[in-house]
Structure 1
Amino acid sequence: MADAKEIDGGVREGRRERKRRQTRERIESVALSLFLERGFDGTTIEDITEAADVAKRSFFDYFPSREEVVFAWQDSFSDELADAIAARPKDASIAEVIEGALTSALLAASSDPQHLA
């Protein structure tokens, strides 16, 4: 059985994908909080898995290392930047598109104190 279902021409996230996304987001959020609180070197994978209530193996299902948790933010920022570029008017100059997209993506990123830090 498929995990995602098509509804009104769009694909809805299935339960399995939703649970995986939520687990990944929880691990990332907890890890970033611990990094801010204790520092990167002062935070172990065991600290992260305990706080996120996941097994160590589950951590490695989502992230190959602690460093990858930090890099996950970069991925989300690039996605926000791409979305902002796509939302710009087609007749805008390249300079306007870049300026508007960067401003929009930076505002979105800075709205979350954890990501700003």
Structure 2
Amino acid sequence: MRGLFGDGADPADVEAACEQVAATKLTTFAAFYGALLGVDQRAGFPALERVRVSIVAGRLDSLMPVTRARALRVALPHATFVDIARSGHMLPWEATDVLAEEVRGLLAEMRAGTSTA
């Protein structure tokens, strides 16, 4: 689990993630991984052109390299892109404030009936 976090991860967060993973059945991981390998969501991209999209990526993410997030940004040119230099894959723990701010922005636009797209 330590390898999924970026630089300076809080040891308590790493421990919490380890506990969650340990509590998950291996069959659940296998099913999830198998589904991820076969999924291709590109057909849904046109629908995303009508809404605000925010892509948040940890530059030290070993599971979803930032190069893939940048490719997603190219595919969705209207999306905002936040590259967090010292974070890895575990952004809810590592970049809680950044994620919360992005969600607040999305919700504010929804409430106002505006869109950046």
Q: Common fold, TM-score beyond 0.5? A: no
* Greater RCO structure (CA 8 Å; 6+ sep): 2
Structure with higher Rg: it is 1
- Determine which structure has the larger helix proportion and give its number: 1
| TM-score when normalising by structure 1 | 0.22
